[in-house]
Amino acid sequence: MDPIDDREREFLALTAQLRHHEAAYRAGAAEIPDSEFDEMFERYQELATALGIDAEERLDAKPGADHTDGFETIAHEVPMLSLEKLSPNRRDSKGEAMPLGEQLANWYDRRRKDLELDDDTKLELLVEPKVDGISVSLLYQDGALTRAVTRGDGRSGDVITRQVLAANAVPATLKGMPKTIEIRGELHWPRPAFEAYNERLAAAGESTLVNPRNGCAGLMKRKDPDGLGDAGVTSFLYQVARYEGGELPATQGEVLAWLRKAGAPTYEGEYFLAEDGDAALAYCDGYGERRGNLDYDIDGMVIKVDRLAHWDLLGGTGHHPHWGIAYKFPPERKTTILEGVDVQVGKTGKLTPVAHLVPIFVGGTTVSRASLHNFVELARKDVRVGDTVYVEKAGDIIPQVVAVDLAKRPTDTVPVPRPTRCPTCESAVVEEEIFIYCPNPACPDQIRERLRHFASRKAMDIDGLGEVLVEQVVTALGVRSPDQLFGLKSTDLAGLDRMGKKSADNVIRGLEVAKGRGLSRVLNALAIRQVGETMSEDLAAHFGTIEALLAFAARYVAGDEEAVESVAPEKASERGAIEGMAKKSADIIFAELDSAPVRAILAGLGAAGVELNAKIATVTEVDGVAGKTFVLTGALPTLKRSEAGERIKNAGGKVSGSVSKKTDFVLAGSDAGSKLAKAEKLGVTVIDEDALLAMLE
């Protein structure tokens, strides 16, 4: 085979892998440690260069990589650049590993040279913890928080003002501030609060969150922030990006003290003023032993030139500033033997390889099973049964097999084969990008996983129907599809293990209550690929009834051009009728909805009395609002945007997520951003909250 073909194949596989892991991270459900992602990305860049891929076409060159649909994106006035990193993988010109101390010494000497300091002049460094959280930029005007924005791609980020305020994650006001000041910080989830939240999820029969960082990212991207105040997310503020109408202290250490005096949370007592690079590195190395006593996660340290006047003089590159550098703690890594690889079948039929290991203690727990993610990843690492493998559990993420010690590989090992048939039901598999699926909805493993999901809190929320009972209703009572659950009787359940009459009656009551959840909850409960909470709500709101949705699905699958264009326009610049639906996801969603098994389940649910219409408030049309399209942007004085949207809908209006020539009104609050600018460019009428309330009255 031509070597170029191998490289192209690897490059395409890595591209798909990186896109998947980026999406998982943005959704707050990262599957791999940062170190493993970085390794994959470095290899991707090597292949891209070797294959002559233009910089503009590479994954890291695309703007908005951290954008989440439904959130407004605005540009940072001062870019939020990444810091240069001290890397254990860096090599010198001879190809030999370069110690971290040598790397830091080189950086320190360059900074002294840039500043033209003589030998007698100190260049002090402030060393701060590198909190493992979510970077945020906070704009305060006259001491009040008016905008919070994620780091995004460093040039622009998503507005999460409502989320951070609802979570009480940052101060709503600060004392003694300049008229305008932009402060950078890190949102994080203290471990005690995170563990308490997971305990509540577990008690409710829900899947627990993987780690505080990813959980924090997920909470801050909730479109409805109600209830975030109980989670316990908080922050550390550490840098002033810009200000007007005031004066700052002279050093970074003094800025931290000044912020703390103003009421900002800072890591008091956890930073250190070093007289040179050697002292900074010694502090970093020693801090690694202390971090286990903290109630929040850190993944390294940040070393900054202390005197702020030096920052502008030092400047930076388009990627990172020269005034700071990051030191990352190496993740704990242990070796063990891979005894076997099992294949698990998920609720959507996805086949996932799972490693069985000789038990090893790593990251605070004994690990005997570890994720291998998917078969593309397994082949990329060339993991084989019998291998000595490296296992990491960085940041308490699910244990990962990250590499193989090839020097210890037995001579008789063979690659783990990609399955061609489902290990449970023997159906021929289908492939979609980097994943392999069992297409058989009657697969026993799929049945169990789908029923567990159907009963879960965010789906149909069936009280009392947990994992153990689901297993019993499948094996003992022969339940095979969600609609059959509603045919169960109390006497059926009372005869099962650990189920008395009272418990059985409670489950039956839970099933009866679940019948009224409405169309969006039913769609989310069916475990249709590409349909989560948000998409199910959007589908229900757009179509209203299951009959309308299924009729449209049939048209779409038949290739009806009008139907396809309405939800997945051919022009990438145009938006379809359903927010966030692209052609690829539309193909999957409507094909599943039009399939015989899904139609049969929906028919059974309807026959059982389950509500299959959208739960829509009674509409009382108001002149001037009814039939009009509104776009909401910015923070409103008294109403939440969700409340304003509901009032518009209840008056017969429509709420859209994007501004176009078809928009009738843009309701703009403070920090309205790009949507307001587009409305003004298109000549769309802009109103404020008072004007909306007058229209509604």
Residue 502 CA to its chain's centroid (Å): 40
Q: Which two tokens stand for residue 425?
A: 């039901």
3-state secondary structure of 385: coil
Q: CB–CB of 197/215 below 8 Å?
A: yes
Q: What is the mean pLDDT of each run of 10 residues along the chain (697 residues)?
A: 62 80 60 66 78 72 54 87 76 70 90 90 93 92 93 86 93 93 94 89 75 85 83 94 89 94 90 92 86 83 94 84 87 86 88 91 79 85 92 67 90 92 92 85 87 88 88 91 93 87 90 92 90 82 92 94 86 67 86 92 94 79 88 78 80 78 84 72 86 88
Whether residue 130 lies in the annotated active site:
yes
Question: What type of residue is 609?
Answer: G
Q: In what order do the strands lie in the sheet with 125-131?
A: 84-86, 324-328, 298-305, 125-131, 272-274
Q: Which two tokens stand for residue 106?
A: 């080189």
pLDDT at 2: 47
Task: Please tell me the distance from the alpha carbon of residue 301 to that of residue 679, in angstroms, as a whole number.
Answer: 44
pLDDT at 31: 66
Q: Which two tokens stand for residue 202?
A: 């577990």
Look at residues 342, 341, 304 and name the one whose alpha carbon lies nearest to residue 324.
304
Pairing outcome for strands 685-687 and 665-668: parallel
pLDDT at 67: 64
How many Cα atoms are found within 13 Å in the side-chain-facing hemisphere of 69? Answer: 12
Q: Where are the alpha helices (H) located in 456-545, listed in sequence order?
A: 467-475, 482-485, 490-494, 501-514, 519-525, 533-543
The residue length of the chain stands at: 697
DSSP 174-216: -SS--SEEEEEEEEE--HHHHHHHHHHHHHTTPPPPS-HHHHH
Look at residues 383, 386, 388, 387 and name the one whose alpha carbon lies nearest to residue 371.
383
Task: Please tell me the distance from the alpha carbon of residue 553 to that of residue 558, in angstroms, as a whole number.
Answer: 8
CB atoms within 10 A of CB 670: 15
Q: Where are the alpha helices (H) located in 239-338, listed in sequence order?
A: 252-261, 277-290, 309-314
Task: Please tell me the distance from the alpha carbon of residue 528 to that of residue 539, in angstroms, as a whole number.
Answer: 12
Task: Please tell me the distance from the alpha carbon of residue 260 to that of residue 201, in angstroms, as a whole number.
Answer: 34
Task: Please tell me the distance from the alpha carbon of residue 473 to that of residue 477, in angstroms, as a whole number.
Answer: 5
Active-site entry in 85, 113, 122, 130: 130
Q: Domains in the chain and their CATH numbers? A: 1-62 (1.10.287.610), 106-328 (3.30.470.30), 331-416 (2.40.50.140), 444-514 (1.10.150.20), 520-607 (1.10.150.20), 629-696 (3.40.50.10190)
pLDDT at 260: 94
> CA-CA distances (angstroms) from residue 590 to 86, 192, 576?
48, 43, 15
Q: Indicate yes or no: pTM above 0.95.
A: no
Task: Please tell me the distance from the alpha carbon of residue 288 to that of residue 521, in angstroms, as a whole number.
Answer: 46
> CA-CA distances (angstroms) from residue 385 to 357, 376, 454?
10, 16, 35
pLDDT at 643: 77
